[in-house]
Protein backbone atom coordinates (compact mmCIF):
# COMPACT_ATOMS: atom_id res chain seq x y z
CA UNK A 1 0.00 0.00 0.00
CA UNK A 2 1.03 3.59 -0.63
CA UNK A 3 0.09 6.08 2.09
CA UNK A 4 -1.03 9.16 0.17
CA UNK A 5 -1.40 11.59 3.09
CA UNK A 6 1.43 12.03 5.61
CA UNK A 7 3.14 14.82 7.54
CA UNK A 8 6.43 12.96 7.76
CA UNK A 9 8.81 15.65 6.53
CA UNK A 10 10.65 17.24 9.46
CA UNK A 11 10.09 20.88 10.44
CA UNK A 12 7.69 21.67 7.63
CA UNK A 13 4.43 22.06 9.52
CA UNK A 14 2.73 20.55 12.57
CA UNK A 15 4.08 17.11 11.59
CA UNK A 16 7.41 15.44 12.51
CA UNK A 17 9.57 17.69 14.68
CA UNK A 18 12.92 16.05 13.97
CA UNK A 19 14.63 13.88 11.37
CA UNK A 20 14.69 11.04 13.92
CA UNK A 21 10.95 11.20 14.46
CA UNK A 22 10.36 11.38 10.71
CA UNK A 23 12.53 8.30 10.05
CA UNK A 24 10.76 6.37 12.82
CA UNK A 25 7.41 7.23 11.26
CA UNK A 26 8.57 5.67 7.98
CA UNK A 27 9.63 2.56 9.93
CA UNK A 28 6.20 2.33 11.57
CA UNK A 29 4.55 2.58 8.16
CA UNK A 30 6.83 -0.12 6.76
CA UNK A 31 6.02 -2.43 9.69
CA UNK A 32 2.34 -2.07 8.77
CA UNK A 33 2.85 -3.10 5.15
CA UNK A 34 3.12 0.39 3.62
CA UNK A 35 5.66 0.45 0.80
CA UNK A 36 5.69 4.13 -0.11
CA UNK A 37 4.48 7.43 1.35
CA UNK A 38 3.38 10.66 -0.26
CA UNK A 39 4.71 13.62 1.74
CA UNK A 40 1.92 16.17 2.09
CA UNK A 41 3.08 19.08 4.27
CA UNK A 42 0.48 21.83 4.64
CA UNK A 43 0.70 24.59 2.03
CA UNK A 44 -1.39 27.66 2.83
CA UNK A 45 -0.86 30.19 0.01
CA UNK A 46 -1.82 33.04 2.35
CA UNK A 47 1.10 32.17 4.63
CA UNK A 48 4.01 31.28 2.34
CA UNK A 49 4.96 31.78 -1.32
CA UNK A 50 4.97 28.67 -3.51
CA UNK A 51 8.70 28.97 -4.38
CA UNK A 52 9.67 29.21 -0.75
CA UNK A 53 7.47 26.26 0.16
CA UNK A 54 9.05 24.13 -2.59
CA UNK A 55 12.56 25.09 -1.47
CA UNK A 56 11.77 24.11 2.11
CA UNK A 57 10.20 20.83 0.99
CA UNK A 58 13.21 19.99 -1.21
CA UNK A 59 15.54 20.51 1.76
CA UNK A 60 13.30 18.46 4.07
CA UNK A 61 13.16 15.59 1.55
CA UNK A 62 16.95 15.64 1.19
CA UNK A 63 17.20 14.99 4.95
CA UNK A 64 15.21 11.74 4.61
CA UNK A 65 17.86 9.53 2.98
CA UNK A 66 17.42 6.91 5.71
CA UNK A 67 13.68 6.64 5.26
CA UNK A 68 12.55 3.00 5.35
CA UNK A 69 10.21 3.45 2.37
CA UNK A 70 10.31 5.55 -0.84
CA UNK A 71 8.89 9.06 -0.39
CA UNK A 72 7.01 11.05 -3.03
CA UNK A 73 6.62 14.85 -3.07
CA UNK A 74 3.25 16.57 -2.76
CA UNK A 75 1.43 18.83 -0.35
CA UNK A 76 -1.90 19.32 1.38
CA UNK A 77 -3.09 22.55 -0.17
CA UNK A 78 -5.47 24.81 1.64
CA UNK A 79 -8.23 26.14 -0.62
CA UNK A 80 -7.57 29.87 -0.95
CA UNK A 81 -8.06 32.50 -3.65
CA UNK A 82 -4.30 33.24 -3.61
CA UNK A 83 -3.79 29.91 -5.42
CA UNK A 84 -4.99 31.66 -8.58
CA UNK A 85 -1.96 33.98 -8.51
CA UNK A 86 0.13 31.08 -9.81
CA UNK A 87 0.42 29.86 -13.39
CA UNK A 88 0.83 26.24 -12.38
CA UNK A 89 0.37 24.06 -9.31
CA UNK A 90 2.22 21.08 -10.78
CA UNK A 91 5.01 21.35 -8.21
CA UNK A 92 2.56 20.68 -5.38
CA UNK A 93 0.52 17.92 -7.01
CA UNK A 94 0.98 14.31 -5.94
CA UNK A 95 4.26 13.13 -7.46
CA UNK A 96 3.82 15.53 -10.41
CA UNK A 97 0.58 13.89 -11.53
CA UNK A 98 -2.74 15.73 -12.04
CA UNK A 99 -3.89 14.74 -8.54
CA UNK A 100 -3.83 17.46 -5.90
CA UNK A 101 -4.63 16.91 -2.21
CA UNK A 102 -6.95 19.76 -1.24
CA UNK A 103 -7.97 20.81 2.26
CA UNK A 104 -11.27 22.65 2.66
CA UNK A 105 -12.35 25.11 5.38
CA UNK A 106 -13.40 23.72 8.76
CA UNK A 107 -16.40 26.08 8.90
CA UNK A 108 -19.71 24.81 10.26
CA UNK A 109 -21.36 25.58 6.93
CA UNK A 110 -20.05 25.66 3.38
CA UNK A 111 -21.36 28.17 0.86
CA UNK A 112 -21.43 28.08 -2.94
CA UNK A 113 -18.13 29.96 -3.14
CA UNK A 114 -16.27 26.81 -2.11
CA UNK A 115 -17.68 24.79 -5.00
CA UNK A 116 -17.06 27.68 -7.43
CA UNK A 117 -13.44 27.95 -6.34
CA UNK A 118 -12.87 24.21 -6.69
CA UNK A 119 -14.51 24.24 -10.13
CA UNK A 120 -12.24 27.11 -11.16
CA UNK A 121 -9.18 25.27 -9.84
CA UNK A 122 -10.05 22.28 -12.04
CA UNK A 123 -10.54 24.47 -15.11
CA UNK A 124 -7.60 26.80 -14.49
CA UNK A 125 -4.95 24.22 -13.56
CA UNK A 126 -6.29 21.03 -15.20
CA UNK A 127 -5.99 19.15 -11.91
CA UNK A 128 -8.05 16.48 -10.18
CA UNK A 129 -8.66 17.53 -6.57
CA UNK A 130 -8.59 14.87 -3.89
CA UNK A 131 -10.47 16.22 -0.90
CA UNK A 132 -8.37 15.50 2.21
CA UNK A 133 -9.98 13.63 5.14
CA UNK A 134 -13.52 14.20 3.88
CA UNK A 135 -15.06 12.74 7.05
CA UNK A 136 -13.47 15.35 9.35
CA UNK A 137 -15.18 18.57 8.23
CA UNK A 138 -17.92 19.79 10.58
CA UNK A 139 -19.99 20.89 7.57
CA UNK A 140 -19.83 17.57 5.77
CA UNK A 141 -22.99 15.74 4.79
CA UNK A 142 -23.53 13.12 2.11
CA UNK A 143 -25.07 15.74 -0.24
CA UNK A 144 -21.81 17.74 -0.10
CA UNK A 145 -19.77 14.70 -1.10
CA UNK A 146 -22.10 14.04 -4.01
CA UNK A 147 -21.79 17.65 -5.17
CA UNK A 148 -17.99 17.54 -4.90
CA UNK A 149 -17.91 14.29 -6.87
CA UNK A 150 -20.17 15.82 -9.52
CA UNK A 151 -17.69 18.61 -10.19
CA UNK A 152 -14.80 16.15 -10.51
CA UNK A 153 -13.29 15.62 -7.06
CA UNK A 154 -12.11 12.38 -5.46
CA UNK A 155 -12.44 11.68 -1.72
CA UNK A 156 -9.69 10.68 0.71
CA UNK A 157 -10.47 9.22 4.12
CA UNK A 158 -8.12 9.05 7.10
CA UNK A 159 -7.55 5.45 8.18
CA UNK A 160 -7.37 6.59 11.82
CA UNK A 161 -10.99 7.80 11.64
CA UNK A 162 -12.11 4.17 11.53
CA UNK A 163 -10.75 3.80 15.09
CA UNK A 164 -12.10 7.14 16.30
CA UNK A 165 -15.17 6.92 18.56
CA UNK A 166 -16.79 10.01 17.07
CA UNK A 167 -15.92 9.37 13.42
CA UNK A 168 -15.99 5.57 13.10
CA UNK A 169 -19.65 5.23 12.12
CA UNK A 170 -19.48 8.03 9.58
CA UNK A 171 -16.19 6.75 8.13
CA UNK A 172 -17.41 3.18 7.67
CA UNK A 173 -20.71 4.42 6.30
CA UNK A 174 -18.95 6.50 3.62
CA UNK A 175 -16.67 3.58 2.73
CA UNK A 176 -19.58 1.17 2.58
CA UNK A 177 -21.51 3.56 0.32
CA UNK A 178 -18.64 3.74 -2.16
CA UNK A 179 -18.05 7.44 -1.50
CA UNK A 180 -14.35 7.04 -0.71
CA UNK A 181 -11.70 6.72 -3.42
CA UNK A 182 -8.41 6.64 -1.54
CA UNK A 183 -7.00 6.15 1.96
CA UNK A 184 -4.24 7.93 3.85
CA UNK A 185 -2.97 7.86 7.43
CA UNK A 186 -2.58 11.68 7.79
CA UNK A 187 0.08 10.78 10.37
CA UNK A 188 1.71 13.76 12.13
CA UNK A 189 4.00 12.29 14.79
CA UNK A 190 4.80 9.27 16.96
CA UNK A 191 2.65 10.36 19.91
CA UNK A 192 -0.96 11.42 19.42
CA UNK A 193 -1.24 11.14 15.62
CA UNK A 194 0.97 8.15 14.67
CA UNK A 195 0.64 6.15 11.45
CA UNK A 196 -2.32 3.77 11.89
CA UNK A 197 -2.89 1.37 9.04
CA UNK A 198 -3.23 -2.30 10.04
CA UNK A 199 -6.00 -2.01 12.63
CA UNK A 200 -8.19 0.33 10.53
CA UNK A 201 -7.81 -1.94 7.49
CA UNK A 202 -8.89 -4.93 9.62
CA UNK A 203 -11.98 -2.99 10.69
CA UNK A 204 -12.73 -2.00 7.10
CA UNK A 205 -12.37 -5.62 5.92
CA UNK A 206 -14.93 -6.69 8.53
CA UNK A 207 -17.32 -4.05 7.24
CA UNK A 208 -16.95 -4.15 3.44
CA UNK A 209 -15.12 -7.43 2.85
CA UNK A 210 -11.57 -8.15 1.74
CA UNK A 211 -12.13 -7.70 -1.97
CA UNK A 212 -13.55 -4.17 -1.77
CA UNK A 213 -10.98 -3.17 0.81
CA UNK A 214 -8.12 -4.40 -1.38
CA UNK A 215 -9.55 -2.42 -4.30
CA UNK A 216 -9.50 0.74 -2.19
CA UNK A 217 -5.87 0.09 -1.33
CA UNK A 218 -4.96 -0.52 -4.98
CA UNK A 219 -6.56 2.80 -5.96
CA UNK A 220 -4.14 4.61 -3.64
CA UNK A 221 -1.25 2.78 -5.31
CA UNK A 222 -2.36 3.80 -8.80
CA UNK A 223 -2.62 7.43 -7.81
CA UNK A 224 1.11 8.13 -7.56
CA UNK A 225 1.55 6.81 -11.07
CA UNK A 226 -1.07 9.26 -12.29
CA UNK A 227 -3.42 6.47 -13.41
CA UNK A 228 -7.21 6.78 -13.33
FE1 LIG B 1 -3.12 16.37 6.75
3-state helix, strand, coil in the chain (%, to 5): 45, 15, 40
Can you tell me the distance from the alpha carbon of 205 to that of 218, in angstroms, rounded to the nearest whole number?
A: 14
Whether 179 is covered by a domain: the verdict is yes
Domain count, the chain: 1
56 half-sphere exposure, CB direction, 13 A CA radius:
17
In this predicted structure, what is the pLDDT of residue 136? 96
Measured in Å, residue 86 CA sits from the centre of ligand 1 at 22
Whether 26 is covered by a domain: the verdict is yes
Measured in Å, residue 161 CA sits from the centre of ligand 1 at 13
Measured in Å, residue 223 CA sits from the centre of ligand 1 at 17
Measured in Å, residue 226 CA sits from the centre of ligand 1 at 20
Domain range for 15 is 2-223
Measured in Å, residue 191 CA sits from the centre of ligand 1 at 16
Instruction: List, for residues 75-119, the tens digit of each pLDDT value.
Output: 999 999 999 999 999 999 999 999 999 999 999 999 999 999 999
Whether 57 is covered by a domain: the verdict is yes
Task: Give, in order, the Cα–Cα distances in Å from 24 to each of 19, 70, 101, 135.
Answer: 9, 14, 24, 27
Instruction: List, for residues 18-67, the tens digit of each pLDDT value.
Output: 999 999 999 999 999 999 999 999 999 999 999 999 999 999 999 999 99
User: What contacts 180, CB < 8 A, 6 or more positions away?
Assistant: 134, 155, 156, 157, 174, 216
Whether 170 is covered by a domain: the verdict is yes
Whether 228 is covered by a domain: the verdict is no
**Helix (H/G/I), strand (E/B), else coil: 40:** coil
Whether 136 is covered by a domain: the verdict is yes
Q: Which residues surround ligand 1, an ion (CB under 5 A)?
A: 76, 186
**What is the mean pLDDT of the segment spanning 127-146?**
96
Measured in Å, residue 4 CA sits from the centre of ligand 1 at 10
Whether 167 is covered by a domain: the verdict is yes
Q: Phi/psi zone of residue 76: left (φ > 0), alpha (ψ -120 to 50 degrees), beta? A: beta
CATH number at residue 51: 3.20.20.140
Q: What is the value of pTM for the model shown?
A: 0.96
**Helix (H/G/I), strand (E/B), else coil: 7:** coil
Measured in Å, residue 101 CA sits from the centre of ligand 1 at 9
Whether 116 is covered by a domain: the verdict is yes
Measured in Å, residue 154 CA sits from the centre of ligand 1 at 16
Amino acid sequence: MIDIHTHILPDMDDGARSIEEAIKMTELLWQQGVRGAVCTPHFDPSQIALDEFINRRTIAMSLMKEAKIPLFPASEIYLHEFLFYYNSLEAVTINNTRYLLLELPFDKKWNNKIYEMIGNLILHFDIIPIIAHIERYPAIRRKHIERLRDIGCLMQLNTSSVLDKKLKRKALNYIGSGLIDVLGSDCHNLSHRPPQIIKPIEEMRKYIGKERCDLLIRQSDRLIEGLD
